[in-house]
Amino acid sequence: MDDPLYREEILDHYYSSPYRGRLDRPDHACDLDNPFCGDQIHVELTVEGDRIQEVRFDGKGCVISQAATSLVAERLEGATVQEALQLGPADVVKLLGMPLTPTRMKCGLLGWKAIQKALTPTDVAV
Amino acid sequence: MADAAAVRGPGLDVAKARGNFPPLAEEARPGVPLRYFDSAATALKPSTVIESVRECMAEYPANVHRGLHVLSERATEAFEGARARIALFLGVDDPAQVIFTRGTTEAINLVARSWGKMALRPGDAIVVSELEHHANLVPWQMIAAETGAVLRYVALNDDLEYDLDSFDRLFDDGRVRMVATTGMSNVSGVRPPIEEIVRRARDRGARVLIDAAQSLAHERLDVARMGVDFAAFSGHKVFGPTGVGVLYGKRELLEAMEPVLGGGNMVLRVERDRAVWNELPDKFEAGTPPIAEVIGLGAAIEYIESLDADAVARHERTLIDHAHARLREVEGFRLLGPWGTAGKGPIVGFTMDGTHPHDLSHLLDRYGIAIRAGHHCAMPLHARLGIPASARASFALYNTTEEIDLLAEALGSIKTMLRRR
């Protein structure tokens, strides 16, 4: 039985993503866990001016969490920070090309969320 | 209870028993029958339980206690009848020792907060194991932080079984006040030797709490005969509704303990600045209880009692033996816990080399097969095993060996489908 979510393109992003790895001097980074399935993701970005130069990720997890992170990385290299922050969950689902159930949504959005956090200033007064 | 009668009597007619569980007659998705291997998360409900809840809500939806009208009296009678039935099921003479909670989690929290606050002093120890569900760990961590007590872990062997020699040594300094142990691991199905643990802990003057959330659907727990101090379980894992669970406690302990929740029903008298606690069990049951759920739980226990327990145990043993035999043939299959089935319940925790459990579970769903994937609220166990997550197939009396064959075949197909190209 085939599942379009696990099509070859997605498996390629999972097994051999060109965006997997670490950067020498990242400008932004973030670690996130998905406590539901134990997925972990680490993302790093370099930014010049307002444009994202490189995105890399590292982590352990299911096909969906890792492939979705790779797809978002592919989409965001060369994009502006503004564009990255405007990218929403629906856009990630579009990149995956398949609707996700609420549980799988947590997997699919893990890397996206990490990138959002990495690009969002955190020194907020509390 | 016509449905229960259908399976009553010696032996277990699995086909007939399956007829009592409506979801098993449904398709998981169009053209694909449901193969339900997630009973350790929540068991399916027999039609007698569903009917008892419906009947309560439709025919006597009144609040219990203190009502003097006919509906309230009927509700109270059914509600307290469920308590009495559960007490008997646990081998307890006195129904007042059966406290209704929202579930196992709340029951253990009640003991940790109330008994723990009363009994624990700085340096005292609570013995737990890496097999525990978070529900039997975090409440103890919380009360330990509050009282200055510490957690001690039972050593496990490579098959994730208790090492009883090192268990004894935990008591050497005389500081262990509580042994809080699972009756059956929700990840591997390992069943610690409860009777032996209770005996050894009591010899050393420690109290024992049994987390029976997993075990009670598969084996009786005679709390009074075994001499356990506390036991906790959830309704929905024993074929009953969600939202209700039970705490059993020894009377002298429950009498000495302070309530955790204040409010209606748990008081005898309330003055402007103080209140006098009610008798057991009401002292620990503040607020309107989950009435229909308690009545449904009573029906669930009645269902279990209607079964031939030995025949169910034999069937479950057949299922677990068959699962081990078929699954070990699947390439990349790694079992968590022992291959021997004597000391384990009908749970198969596993990983598949190179495949994340979440992907497995997702793809098995395409075959109508329901398993669970994740850390199963047992993160310390997964940390010990060095894995972020695992997959779990759990069985109940309504499962068949044919269904397990389908699981093994589907795992093989998924392995092929996800191969690196």
At B256-284, the pLDDT tens digits run 999 999 999 999 999 999 999 999 999 99
Min distance A106 CA to chain B CA atoms (Å): 11
3-state secondary structure of B112: helix
Own/partner long-range contacts of B56-63 (Cβ < 8 Å, ≥24 apart): B56/B291, B56/B292, B56/B295, B56/B296, B57/B292, B61/B292, B63/B288, B63/B291
CB B284 within 8 A of CB B273: no
User: What per-residue confidence (pLDDT) applies to B351?
Assistant: 97
Tell me which amino acid residue B343 is: G
User: What per-residue confidence (pLDDT) applies to B226?
Assistant: 95
- Which of B359, B369, B420 would best serve as a mutation to test chain A binding (most A beta carbons within 10 A)? B359
DSSP string across B18-76:
HTT-GGGGSEEETTEE-EE-BTTT-----HHHHHHHHHHHHH-----SS--SHHHHHHH
Contact B388 A60 (CB under 8 A): yes
Residue B286 φ/ψ, nearest 5 degrees: -75, 140
Query: Residue A89: CB partners within 8 Å, gap ≥ 6?
Result: A105, A109, A112
Query: Is the CB of B384 inside 8 Å of chain A's CB atoms?
Result: no
Read off the pLDDT of each residue in B39-60 and give the average, rounded to a whole number.
Answer: 98
As given in the structure block, the two tokens for residue B352 are 């598949």
3-state secondary structure of B266: coil
Query: Active-site residue B56, yes or no?
Result: no
Task: For residue B352, give the nearest of B417, B297, B396, B291 by alpha carbon.
Answer: B417
Q: Is it the case that residue B2 has pLDDT exceeding 60?
A: no
Task: For residue B3, give the nearest of B315, B239, B311 by alpha carbon.
Answer: B239
State the Cα angle at B250 between B246 and B254, rounded to 5°: 80
* pLDDT confidence tier of residue A125, bands split at 50, 70 and 90: low
More confident residue, B147 or B343: B147
Read off the pLDDT of each residue in B310-337 and give the average, rounded to a whole number.
Answer: 97
d(CA B27, CA B33): 4
CB B38 within 8 A of CB B370: yes
Q: Is it the case that residue A126 has pLDDT exceeding 60?
A: no
* pLDDT confidence tier of residue B8, bands split at 50, 70 and 90: low
Looking at beta carbons, which residues of chain B come within 8 Å of A10? none
d(CA B219, CA B237): 12
List, for residues B232-253, the tens digit of each pLDDT value. 999 999 999 999 999 999 999 9
Alpha-carbon torsion B108, B125, B256, B114, what sign? negative
Decide the pairing of beta strands B230-234 and B245-249: antiparallel
User: What per-residue confidence (pLDDT) applies to B62?
Assistant: 93
Residue B127 bridge partners (DSSP): B152, B179
More confident residue, B184 or A124: B184
CATH C-level class of B50-306: alpha beta
* Positions of E strands within B74-199: 98-101, 125-129, 150-154, 176-182
Query: Residue B290: CB partners within 8 Å, gap ≥ 6?
Result: B100, B102, B241, B243, B244
CB B217 within 8 A of CB B43: yes
Q: What is the mean pLDDT of chain B?
A: 95
Task: For residue B43, give the nearest of B292, B394, B404 by alpha carbon.
Answer: B394
State the Cα angle at B181 between B180 and B187, rounded to 5°: 140
Mark out chain A residues that contact chain B at CB-CB < 8 A. Answer: 1-3, 5-6, 8, 11-12, 15, 35-40, 60-65, 104, 107
Q: Is B374 left (phi over 0), alpha (psi -120 to 50) or beta?
A: left
Cα distance between the two ends of chain A: 51
DSSP string across A6-73:
G-HHHHHHHHS-TTBS--SS-SEEEEEEETTTTEEEEEEEEEETTEEEEEEEEEE--HHHHHHHHHHH
| Whole-number CA gyration radius for chain A | 14
> Closest-CA residue in chain B for A38?
B388
Min distance B374 CA to chain A CA atoms (Å): 4
d(CA A21, CA A55): 9
> Chains A, B: CB contacts under 8 A, how many?
62
Q: Helices (DSSP H) in B62-115: which residue ranges?
A: 70-89, 104-110
List, for residues B70-128, the tens digit of each pLDDT value. 899 999 999 999 999 999 999 999 999 999 999 999 999 999 999 999 999 999 999 99
3-state secondary structure of B369: strand
Read off the pLDDT of each residue in A56-75 and give the average, rounded to a whole number.
Answer: 95
d(CA B138, CA B359): 29
Read off the pLDDT of each residue in B165-181 and give the average, rounded to a whole number.
Answer: 97
3-state secondary structure of B277: strand
Task: For residue B152, give the nearest of B166, B160, B186, B245 by alpha carbon.
Answer: B166
The upper half-sphere exposure of residue B347, i.e. CA atoms within 13 Å in the direction of its Cβ, equals 30
Domain ranges of chain B: 8-33+308-420, 50-306
As given in the structure block, the two tokens for residue B128 are 């737990």
Q: Which fold has domain B8-33+308-420?
A: Aspartate Aminotransferase, domain 1 (3.90.1150)
Looking at beta carbons, which residues of chain A come within 8 Å of B356? 37, 39, 61-63
Contact A62 B358 (CB under 8 A): yes
d(CA B118, CA B201): 19
Cis peptide before A18 (omega within 30 of 0): no
Query: Is the CB of B373 inside 8 Å of chain A's CB atoms?
Result: yes
Q: Is it the case that residue A121 has pLDDT exceeding 50?
A: yes
Query: Residue B377: CB partners within 8 Å, gap ≥ 6?
Result: B133, B134, B135, B186
Looking at beta carbons, which residues of chain B come within 8 Å of A5? 362
Q: Is B248 left (phi over 0), alpha (psi -120 to 50) or beta?
A: beta
Query: Residue B188: CB partners within 8 Å, gap ≥ 6?
Result: B131, B160, B336, B337, B338, B344, B347, B349, B381
Own/partner long-range contacts of B169-174 (Cβ < 8 Å, ≥24 apart): B170/B125, B170/B127, B171/B200, B171/B201, B171/B204, B171/B206, B174/B204, B174/B205
Q: Is B314 left (phi over 0), alpha (psi -120 to 50) or beta?
A: alpha
Query: Is the CB of B366 inside 8 Å of chain A's CB atoms?
Result: yes
Q: What is the pTM of this model?
A: 0.91
Q: Is the ipTM of this complex over 0.90?
A: no
